[in-house]
Amino acid sequence: MSPAQVTTKLDLDNRTEIHNFVVEFYRAIVFDDLLQEVFEQIAEVDWNSHIPRLVDYWCKVLIGENRYNGAMFQAHQDVHEIEDFQPAWFEQWHKLFWETLDAGWEGPHVEHAKEHALKNLGSLARRLMGTDWAPAL
């Protein structure tokens, strides 16, 4: 393999990389047979406002920026009131999140993103569905 063919995966350690990840991940969601309906028809996500909010959220979590001022649980509760969350949604979100990260990024911030996402998925499952959730092996 020539040096020009070697691609270095970057960590999620700056706003640009976090933005790139968020866009890539939610692009996968938009084209996913299961989650596309959840985000576009049930939650009726406005991607023009949602993507910047998600970038701000992950920048807060991963690099300590203080631009995010949302209510993560309440946003999910609002969707759950329209249609009950399903374990399959958690599984697919988790799968796409990991695949997207592993395809383009690596490093300690990536590992922190994975840990944080797992913690949030577990918390949402307990609070919204009243059940424990862990990814299928």
Helices (DSSP H) in 1-137: which residue ranges?
Answer: 15-30, 35-37, 47-63, 72-82, 87-104, 108-124
Report pLDDT for 1: 47
Q: Is residue 4 part of a domain?
A: no
First to last CA, the chain: 33
Residue 19: which CATH number? 1.10.490.10
Residue pLDDT, tens place only, 73-113: 998 999 999 999 999 999 999 999 999 999 999 999 999 99
Residues 45-68, mean pLDDT to the nearest whole number: 96
Q: Which residues contact 43 (CB under 8 A, 6 or more apart)?
A: 79, 82
Q: Is residue 75 part of a domain?
A: no
Residue pLDDT, tens place only, 109-125: 999 999 999 999 999 99
Our count of domains for the chain comes to 1
Residue among 36, 38, 68 nearest 53 (CA): 68
Give the range of the structural domain holding residue 28, as residue numbers without chain letter: 10-69+81-129
What phi and psi values does residue 10 have, to the nearest 5 degrees? -100, 155
